[in-house]
């Protein structure tokens, strides 16, 4: 990754002109650091692609090959050293839709699917949507890091669970699972005749000092048992444009994805595909690196601000993404401290219990913003803690 000048976030006045969830959910006296939207202007190549489409009236149905498969193949090779076969990629609307549709076809109604809390709240919805049942195997906290509970996953699969829904990198902890752990997971899953569906939406946002391993590239066994679902939407702030990729690396898993109904692919948004192509091409690498520099500054700044203003907070600097998992248990603000912070400090954070029981006493904070916004948010929380 090249080191460049950090990307500058837009001003709050500019951001309040946006009509997305982050800026329209709460009144203007609330600083919104909850939902996973970032505060940067789009990558120039993305803006150019969307402007051209609008000017041409290119607003129709998404074609079978909008170019995003080849664009992602190049991106994966450049950024991860991962060789992807474009013929093993199929598009859909978004990552959670891809997860649901794959789970529908690899599990039977009532089958148990393992999730690893604390974890992205929609996981708790998409598994039942697919007709399956949640099996919780929480992450292990080693004191220095979080990691998969491989023994617990082995036991759950031995007891009949049929799939693992993996978050790689992990949301909300920012954990980048090691190649060794992913390969060990694949061996366990293959032993039990199960599968892994890996949500890799945060994969472009891995910071210095960490290395992202695509699950399908972790080992030959991972290639046989795995499905990956990815999108440019988190790294390039394109969630409203709707395009995700379902990727496989084995003939049997590829056959499953190819057998999904045509409507699964038809739901791909044309603007999502066009912007995804622009995001994944080399022209956007410099913008992505500049964003990573900005996020690197903020993830460390957050540690300094919490130490100064909220010393009772416990925060582990994440290895990926723009989301911070913060333990506020020692403040005595109950299971859901974000509710008090929203009400009394006028800062909107994601409610910790939504991530599972392990989220009680925790909040998730989005630091994909300007340092000034981050500073003001923590100062408000600190003032509340001192009151």
Residues 261 and 306 in one domain: no
- For residue 368 the two structure tokens come to 């994909």
Cβ atoms of 186 and 221 within 8 Å: the answer is: yes
Strand partners, 314: 327
As for how many domains the chain has, the answer is: 2
Task: Give yes or no: residues 263 and 301 share one domain.
Answer: no
Which residues, other chains included, contact 56 with Cβ-Cβ below 8 Å and sequence gap of 6+? none
Any domain includes 228: yes
User: 140-141 and 146-147 as β-strands: parallel, antiparallel, unpaired?
Assistant: antiparallel
CA distance 94 to 98: 6
**What are 228's two structure tokens?**
């990956």
- Final residue of a structural domain among 283, 310, 331: 283
Task: Please state, as a whole number, how many other Cβ atoms lie within 10 Å of the Cβ of residue 335.
Answer: 14
Tell me whether residue 4 is in a domain.
no
Query: Domain boundary residue among 221, 249, 283?
Result: 283
- What CATH number did the domain enclosing 184 receive? 3.40.640.10
On whether the pTM is more than 0.85, the answer is yes
Same domain, 107 and 37: no
Give a yes or no: residue 5 inside a domain: no
Interatomic CA distance for residues 174 and 177, integer angstroms: 9
Residue 1 lies in a domain: no
Residue 2 confidence (pLDDT): 45
* Chain length of the chain: 387
267 plus 335 within the same structural domain: no
Mean pLDDT per 10-residue section of the chain, whose length is 387 residues: 80 98 98 98 98 98 96 98 98 98 98 98 98 98 95 98 98 98 98 98 97 98 98 98 98 98 97 98 98 98 98 98 98 98 98 98 98 98 97
Which run of H or E residues covers position 227? strand 226-230
Q: Are residues 105 and 120 in the same domain?
A: yes
Q: CB count, 10 Å around CB of 239?
A: 19
> Are residues 291 and 275 part of one domain?
no
Query: Domain holding 336: CATH number?
Result: 3.90.1150.10
Same domain, 191 and 336: no
Query: Which residue range is the domain that position 179 belongs to?
Result: 46-283
Q: Please, what is the end-to-end C-alpha distance for the chain in angstroms?
A: 43
| Residue 2 within any structural domain of the chain | no
Domain boundary, last residue among 283, 304, 331 = 283
Q: Are residues 243 and 183 in the same domain?
A: yes
Tell me whether strands 244-247 and 323-327 are parallel, antiparallel or unpaired: unpaired
At residue 1, the pLDDT reads 40
Domain presence at residue 217 = yes
């Amino acid at each position: 990754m090249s080191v460049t000048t950090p990307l500058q976030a837009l001003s709050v006045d500019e951001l309040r002109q946006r009509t997305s969830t982050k800026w329209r959910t709460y009144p203007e006296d609330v600083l919104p650091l909850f939902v996973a939207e970032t505060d940067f202007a789009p990558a120039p190549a993305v803006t150019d692609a969307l402007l051209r489409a609008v000017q041409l009236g290119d607003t129709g149905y998404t074609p079978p090959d909008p170019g995003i498969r080849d664009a992602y193949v190049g991106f994966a090779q450049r950024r991860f050293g991962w060789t992807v076969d474009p013929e093993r990629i199929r598009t859909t609307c978004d990552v959670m839709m891809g997860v649901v549709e794959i789970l529908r076809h690899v599990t039977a109604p009532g089958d148990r699917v393992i999730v690893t809390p604390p974890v992205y709240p929609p996981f708790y919805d998409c598994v039942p949507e697919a007709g399956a049942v949640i099996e919780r195997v929480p992450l292990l906290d080693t004191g220095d890091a979080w990691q998969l509970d491989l023994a617990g996953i082995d036991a759950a699969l031995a007891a009949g669970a049929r799939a693992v829904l993996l978050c790689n990198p992990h949301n909300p902890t920012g954990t980048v699972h090691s190649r060794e752990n992913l390969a060990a997971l694949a061996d366990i899953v293959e032993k039990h005749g199960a599968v892994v569906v890996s949500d890799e939406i945060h994969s472009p946002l891995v910071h210095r000092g960490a290395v992202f391993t695509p699950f399908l590239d972790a080992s030959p066994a991972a290639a046989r048992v795995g499905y990956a679902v990815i999108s440019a939407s988190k790294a390039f702030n394109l969630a409203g444009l709707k395009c995700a990729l379902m990727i496989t690396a084995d003939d049997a898993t590829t056959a499953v994805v190819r057998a999904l109904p045509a409507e699964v692919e038809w739901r791909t948004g044309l603007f999502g595909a066009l912007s995804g192509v622009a995001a994944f091409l080399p022209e956007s690498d410099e913008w992505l690196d500049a964003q990573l520099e900005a996020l690197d500054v903020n993830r460390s700044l957050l540690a300094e601000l919490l130490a100064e203003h909220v010393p009772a907070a416990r925060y582990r600097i994440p290895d990926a993404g723009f989301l911070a998992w913060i333990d506020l248990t020692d403040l005595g603000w109950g299971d859901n401290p974000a509710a008090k912070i929203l009400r009394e400090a006028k800062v909107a954070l994601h409610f910790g219990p939504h991530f599972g029981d392990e989220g009680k006493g925790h909040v998730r904070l989005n630091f994909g913003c300007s340092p000034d916004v981050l500073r003001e948010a923590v100062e408000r929380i600190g003032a509340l803690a001192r009151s």
